[in-house]
Chain A
Amino acid sequence: MGTNLTIGKAINAGLRASMEHDPKVLVMGEDVGKLGGVFRVTDGLYKDFGADRVIDTPLAESGIVGTAIGMAMRGYRPVVEIQFDGFFFPAANQTFTQLAKMRRRSAGKLSMPIVMRIPYGGGIGAVEHHSESPEAYFTHTAGLRVVTVANPEDAYWMIQQAIRSDDPVIFLEPKRRYYEKAEVDTAAPIEEATPMGAARVARHGTDATLLAYGPMVKTALQAAEADTDHSIEVVDLRSLSPVDYPTIVESVKRTGRLVIAHEAPLSGGPGGEIAARVTEECFYHLESPVIRVAAFDTPYPQSRLEEHYLPDLDRVLDGVDRAFAY
C-alpha cells in the first residue's frame, strides 16, 4: 500500500504532515506562499495553513535565516527555503556564526530546531549559481546536521525527522531528481522509518562499495548495473554530518574496495574526509586505495559543459575500473 510520489511531492507531503502534527512548524522563504516555491515544493501549504504559517519573506537570505533564529528562540520550528544553492551565501554569516553555534554558546539553554531546505546540485541547464553543491561548507561547520535524499521514501520521512530534530538541519534536495517517482507508504508510523542519520545499503554486492548521496545515488545504481564484470554494492550515505561510519566500514570490510562519487568539487569535498577515515578503519581490508569521483576544482561551468563537469555514468565506471586496477 502506498502513494506514488515524486521526490518534490514527497517533501511537500512531509511538510504538510509536519505542519499538521505540530502547530509550531512554520515554512518561510522567497515565493513559498501563493506560488508554492519555484519548484512547487510548498505548493498548497499557503492555501491550507495561511500566511501566518507559510511566510513569503522579503528577498533577503540573511534575513530569512536570522529571523528564523529569532522565531526558534520563541518556540517555533521554522523550515526555511533557500531558493537555490548559490543563494545560500548571503545567509552564510547567520548560519555559520549564529545558527550553528547557538546551543554551545548558550550552554545548552537554546535549541535551534530549524531546517534549511536547499535545492542543490546541477544538471538542469541553469544559469550561474543555480547548480552548485555547497555541502562541504556545511559539513565543515560544527553544530549543523547535514542530510540529503535520493528517493521519495527518504524525502517523505527525512523532512519530517529533520523538522522534529532539535538541531539545525541542512536539508539538501537534489533538484535534478525532484521528478523521480516511487511508492511511499505515507500511512506507516514515523518511528519505523530509517533514522535520518543512518546510511543505507541501496544495492548489495561483494566486490566493491560505491558510496554516493543525493543526486549521485541514481547514477551509482546505474553504474553498478552496468558493470557486469563485478558485483558492486551501493551505499546511499543519506547523512553527510554526522557520517554513519559503521555502515560504510562494514560494507568496505566485506568488499575490500571503496569508490566515492559526489557532485561537489574533489578537493576538500566530503569524499576526502570519508576516504581518510575508511583508510584508518579498514586499512588491512582494502585491496585498493579509496577512489574519489567528483566534480573538478573549478567554478561550476556554463551549462553547456555541465555534462562534462558532473560525474556521469562513465566517470563513475572509470572510478570503479581504477579501483580494480590495483
Chain B
Amino acid sequence: MSDTTAHEEPELIQLLTPEGELTGHPDYPLDISAEEIRALYRDLVLVRRVDSEAVSLQRQGELGLWASLLGQEAAQIGSGRALGERDMAFPSYREHGVAWCRGIAPKELLGMFRGVTNGGWDPHEHGFHLYTIVIGSQALHATGYAMGVQRDGAVGEDGTAVISYFGDGATSQGDTNEAFNFASVNNAPVVFFCQNNQWAISESTERQSRVPIYKRAAGFGFPGVRVDGNDVLACLAVTRAALNNAREGNGPTLVEAFTYRMGAHTTNDDPSRYRASAELDEWKAKDPILRVRRYLENNGLADDAFFASVDTEAEAIGEQVRTECRALPDPEPLDIFHEVYAEPNVQIDRQRSEFAEYLASFEGVGAEGGR
C-alpha cells in the first residue's frame, strides 16, 4: 500500500519555541501584550495546580476518578482564551483548562469525578456544555448547535462560533466523522479542536489514523491545520483565526493540537504497561509552561516577584480545591428521582414514594438499617 502522506513531515504552526524564543508565524500574526502573556502563564500554572490537586484527592479516596490534563495545558488555555463570550464550547471529559477559561469553578468538575453529580453546571450560562464521556458524541452536538447559530443569523464580527473538543481516539468514531461531514455540507460555524495527545488509553495515534489527523479535513472539504499543542500562543492564534473564520460565515476548520498526555489516561490507568518512559522525557523538554516562563524571563517581562506571586496563588488554589472537594455534600437518596422528566411522571412518582417509605422503615433501626 502506498503511504506517502504519512511520511511527509507536516507543518507545525509554532509561535513560541520550547526554548522560549518568540518566532511568530506569518499566517498567524498575534498582537499580544506582555500583560496578556503573563495572564496566560498564570492560567497555565493554576490549571496545572488544580489538576495535580485533583490527582492527589483521587489517591486519597476523595474522588472516584480523575482524568488529568497534565501536558495539555497550552492547548486548552490557548484555545479557551480564544473563545469570545458568545461562543459555545462542547468539551470531552479532560477539558479542565477550557472549563477554567469559561468560568466553571474547579469544584464543579470535582463534583462529577467525586460522584455527587453527573455534571450540573449550566451550559448556557458558561458557554460550556457538560462533559461528555461517550467518545465523539459531542462533535455532532457542536455541529447541530452551529447549524442553529446559522439559522439565527448570528454571524459576523458579533456572531457566535462553536468549538468542539475531542481527542485523537475520537477521530475513529463514526459520530466525529459524521460531524465533519454535516459541518462541511452546511458550512456550519464550528471549529473542531482535536487534542492529539498521542495515546487513546493504550493505543497510539498510529492505531487511529494512517494520515496526520488535520489532513482528514481536506477530504471533507474544509481546512485543517496542525498546531504545536504545547505552545499556548500558537494555540491562541490558530484557534482565534479559526473561530473568526467560522463567525464570518466561512465554515469549519479542524485544528489538530499536537501535544502529549504526560500523565495516565485516568487515575485507573498505568501507562508504564504500554509506553516507553523515554517518550515522556522527550515531551518534558517541550513543556507548555516552561517555555512561557523562559520567554518572560529572557525578555525581562516578568520578575521573580511575579513568578512567586503566581506560585503563591497556585498553592492557595490547591488548598481551596482540597477544602471545597471534601466539603461537597453527598446528595440525598431521593435525588435519584430528580430531573428525569420535565413533566410530572406517575411511574417515577410512585417509585419515589415507595422508596421514601422504604427508607423511612429503617428509621430508629440505625443508619445501616440493621445490616
Residues on A lying within 8 angstroms of B by beta carbon are 30-31, 33-36, 38, 56-60, 62-63, 86-87, 89-90, 125-130, 266-267, 296-299, 301-306, 308-309, 313-315, 318
Contacts and interface: CB of A to CB of B under 8 A. Distances in A.
B355 A59 contact: no
Nearest to A301: B336
A305 B333 contact: yes
Contact of B335 (A38, A58, A301): A301
B240 interface: no
Given A125-B115, A302-B331, A90 B175 contact: yes
A297 B348 CA distance: 7
Contacts of B115: 125, 127, 302-306
A308 B113 CA distance: 18
A126 B64 contact: yes
A126 B172 contact: no
B336 A90 contact: no
Nearest to B174: A62
B134 interface: yes
Interface string B332-356: 0101110010000001100100010
B135 interface: yes
Contacts of A38: 201, 268-269
Interface in B298-350: 330-331, 333, 335-337, 340, 347-348
B202 A33 contact: yes
A305 B201 CA distance: 28
A35 B175 contact: no
A146 B59 CA distance: 37
B133 interface: yes
A302 B115 CA distance: 5
Contact of A90 (B93, B134, B371): B134
Interface string B353-371: 0010010011000000111
Contacts of B104: none
Interface residues of B, number: 47
A277 B160 CA distance: 57
Contacts of B370: 314
Q: Which of B93, B330, B336 has the most CB of A within 10 A?
A: B336
B174 A86 contact: no
Interface string B199-210: 011110001100
Given A303-B115, A314-B371, A309 B134 contact: no
Contact of B351 (A34, A297, A313): A297
Contacts of B333: 305, 308
A236 B337 CA distance: 30
A303 to B, nearest CB: 3
Contacts of A60: 172-174
Q: Which of A126, A302, A303 has the most CB of B within 10 A?
A: A302
B65 A127 contact: yes
Given A59-B172, A60-B173, A308-B336, 16 more contacts: A34-B273, A35-B201, A35-B273, A58-B172, A58-B207, A86-B133, A127-B113, A129-B134, A296-B336, A296-B351, A297-B351, A298-B340, A302-B116, A302-B117, A304-B116, A314-B370
A58 B172 CA distance: 6
Given A90-B173, A297-B347, A30 B201 contact: yes
Contacts of A36: 273
Nearest to A83: B201
B170 interface: yes
Mostly helix, strand, loop or mixed at chain B's interface?
Answer: loop
Nearest to A43: B273
A127 B370 CA distance: 29
B249 interface: no
10 contacts: A34-B202, A38-B268, A60-B172, A87-B135, A90-B175, A127-B113, A297-B348, A313-B371, A314-B362, A314-B369
B371 A128 contact: no
B134 A89 contact: yes
A130 B274 CA distance: 23
Contacts of B369: 314
Contacts of B172: 58-60, 63
Q: Which of A31, A90, A127, A266 has the most CB of B within 10 A?
A: A127
Nearest to A35: B202
Nearest to A312: B371
Nearest to A93: B174
Q: Which of B170, B269, B351 has the most CB of A within 10 A?
A: B351
Contacts of A57: 207
Nearest to A226: B371
Contacts of A302: 112, 115-118, 331
A73 B115 CA distance: 43
B286 interface: no
B120 to A, nearest CB: 9
A65 to B, nearest CB: 12
A267 B203 CA distance: 39
The 9 closest A-B pairs by CB, nearest first: A303-B115, A58-B172, A35-B202, A59-B169, A125-B64, A304-B115, A308-B333, A60-B172, A31-B202
B49 interface: no
Contacts of A30: 200-201, 203
Contacts of A309: 336
Given A296-B351, A315-B358, A86 B336 contact: no
Nearest to B368: A314
A58 B351 contact: no
Nearest to A129: B133
Nearest to A87: B134
B129 interface: no
Contact of A304 (B65, B207, B208, B330): B330
Contact of B208 (A33, A59, A314): A59
B69 to A, nearest CB: 16
Interface in B187-207: 200-203, 207
Contacts of A301: 118, 331, 335-336
A31 B201 contact: yes
A183 B300 CA distance: 69
A59 B64 contact: no
A90 B273 CA distance: 28
B133 A127 contact: yes
